[in-house]
Copies of this chain bind each other. A is one copy, B any other.
Amino acid sequence: MAMTRERAADARRYAALPDPFPMWRGGALHGARIAYETWGALSAARDNVILLFTGLSPSAHAAASPSDPSDGWWEGMIGHGCAIDSGRYHVVCVNSLGSCFGSTGPASIDPATGAPYRVSFPDLSVEDIARAGFEVLRSLGIERAHTIIGPSLGGMVVLAFPAQFPGATRNAVSISGTAAASPFAIALRSIQREAILRDPDWRGGSYTDERPPATGMRIARKLGMMTYRSAAEWRQRFGRQPAGPELRSPEPFGPEFAIQSYLEAHAQRFVRAFDPNCYLYISRAMDRFDLAAHGASIEEVFARSRVERALVIGVESDLLFPVDEQRALSEALRKAGAQTTFAPLDCLEGHDSFLIDLERFGREISRFLA
């Protein structure tokens, strides 16, 4: 199920990855590519690049641009005069390796067979996503990023990037990320994957475009929403309001509360927008990530990475990537000698706060970049 965002405009560009592209846990890709978008001009000294990694499911379309004026997933954060100022920086956002919005992933054609990879795609790691971003910079003739930024999965990728390529970025901003997934996060993601794997329509990964494992994807997305937001936000926003009449059904056990309608709307959008096998691969990569595997300790890994300055942002209401994990990250960065700012924010919206509370996140990011 190759996913294309249905827009008249398309700002994507493509970088060919080295052939072969070795994968961190073994195997290699041939003829692979990464989709990316850019904002702002590259300076003559090539020293103003901000490389942006995404969460699990977004595309490279982080913000509107002349070639694609539709809103991006971080609209308002990136642009002229925004916190990530395209008047000053050349911003490059990559669609993750393994995803389905133009970059090579399980839904792409395997050149060796002429058919989609599906579950024959090699094991995917957070390290591979970082390496693919590094190769995009290389393809643009850039030796060193000014700053790498990433939220959620992206917040893990910005740790894996300098761990593999010391000196390849001067600064790093890790937002609501972690050095290693907790058992709670692993539990959540493995239940999401199980819902997909046990959907009869998954068919061992060989589902059709007409009949994707929609039930599994719906349940996975609804579960995701539970941990992306917060109980306090939902209490304020939905309380015990009844569901709208459009969702009331004569079926037994149909939706009764507004919170159920909200989850249903999100789930329906997601089923149409994301490839199930890509979801499985990226989700598992998040479980497996463990920065400490790159050295004797995460302090030692950071010391080798030559990151000069770091900003670590976390949110007190985050269930999935709890703020203690970002606190530990920032302490390790400090011990390793990076000039580190830790910003624990008390936003209401949980893990997804970076998408919503642009004012507070923007303030931290622009202060760091100033």
Spell out A's residues near B (CB within 8 Å): 119, 180-184, 186-188, 190-191, 193-195, 197-198, 200, 204-205, 215, 218-219, 222-223, 225-226, 230-231, 234-235, 237-240, 252-253, 255-260, 263, 280, 284, 287-288, 290, 319, 322
Contacts and interface: CB of A to CB of B under 8 A. Distances in A.
A183 B240 contact: yes
Main DSSP-derived SS at the A contact region: helix
Contact of A187 (B119, B190, B198, B259): B259
A315 B287 CA distance: 28
B191 A219 contact: yes
Contact of A235 (B182, B195, B284): B182
A260 B205 contact: no
A235 B193 contact: no
Top 7 A-B pairs ranked by shortest CB distance?
A184-B231, A183-B259, A183-B234, A183-B238, A198-B215, A119-B252, A191-B222
Contact of A182 (B205, B222, B234, B288): B234
B259 A226 contact: no
A188 B191 CA distance: 13
A235 B183 contact: yes
Given A191-B226, A198-B215, A288 B119 contact: no
